[in-house]
Amino acid sequence: MLRHHLGRFGASTLLVVLTAVMCGCPLGGELVLFPDVNLENAVREELGKPFGLLTSFDLVELERLDARGLVEEEKIRDLTGLEYCVFLRWLDLDTNLVSDLTPLEGLSNLEYINLDSNYVTDLQPLSGLLYLRGLSLFDNQVADIGPLVTNAESRLLAPEYPPLDYIIVDADTLGIDYDDGVVTQPELDIDRLVELGVDVILAEGTK
């Protein structure tokens, strides 16, 4: 995978970028910079654009991103920049270092997301993704799946959206123990999701 390609730009390229920014004249769309070079490399590989500037026009072409199982030094931490991938439908980030899902909250076309083996705690950014069909959260740190209930319930008022088919969640971090006689909020949330037709798969995490 390509590394640190921004460092290969010549002085003339940088001059063009600075001129465009100062004049407010984007080159083929708004210039997009990724703070996480590993995410940028994954996006470039998927787009088949290893060099040159990335703009919002480029990123609307991205419909799927497979960045699973990266070696340690190439793992992704920061998803900033993905908010420009407005037609992204399929996202696989299995085994990375992602904790903040905020850049995904406006990606209304997302249908399938795999976040297994990351460090996610807050699912609120996913609550409004009404085209979402499948979500895998095995081996994370999620203790509240309320936003997924909100997601599923919102579709009752908008039948034009497809159903949320399945979610895979971590029983350990949710504190699920049906044998202890105590009914917790996550257990109530799971019951509600099942009632709404969602297949909830409980798995045991490793963190």
For the cut 90, the answer to whether the pLDDT of residue 1 exceeds it is no
Residue 157, in any domain of the structure: yes
Q: Exposure pattern of 75-91 as b/e (b: 16+ CB <10 Å)?
A: bbbbbbbbbbbeebbbb
- The sign of the dihedral angle between the CA atoms of 163, 167, 173, 175 is positive
Q: Can you give the pTM of this predicted structure? A: 0.84
What value does the mean pLDDT of the chain take? 87
Residue 200, in any domain of the structure: yes
Residue 34, in any domain of the structure: no
What whole-number distance in Å separates Cα of residue 159 and Cα of residue 154? 9
Amino acid 19: pLDDT: 38
Query: Which CATH number covers residue 169?
Result: 3.80.10.10
What whole-number distance in Å separates Cα of residue 27 and Cα of residue 150? 39
Count the domains in the chain.
Answer: 1
Residue 8, in any domain of the structure: no
Amino acid 175: pLDDT: 84
Q: Residue 167's domain spans which residues? A: 99-207
Amino acid 74: pLDDT: 95
- Residue of 43, 21, 41, 16 lying closest to 31 (CA atoms): 21
Instruction: Report residue 204's pLDDT band, with 50, 70 and 90 as the boundaries.
Output: confident
pLDDT tens-place string over residues 113-165: 999 999 999 999 999 999 999 999 999 999 999 999 999 999 998 889 999 99
Residue 168, in any domain of the structure: yes
Residue 85, in any domain of the structure: no
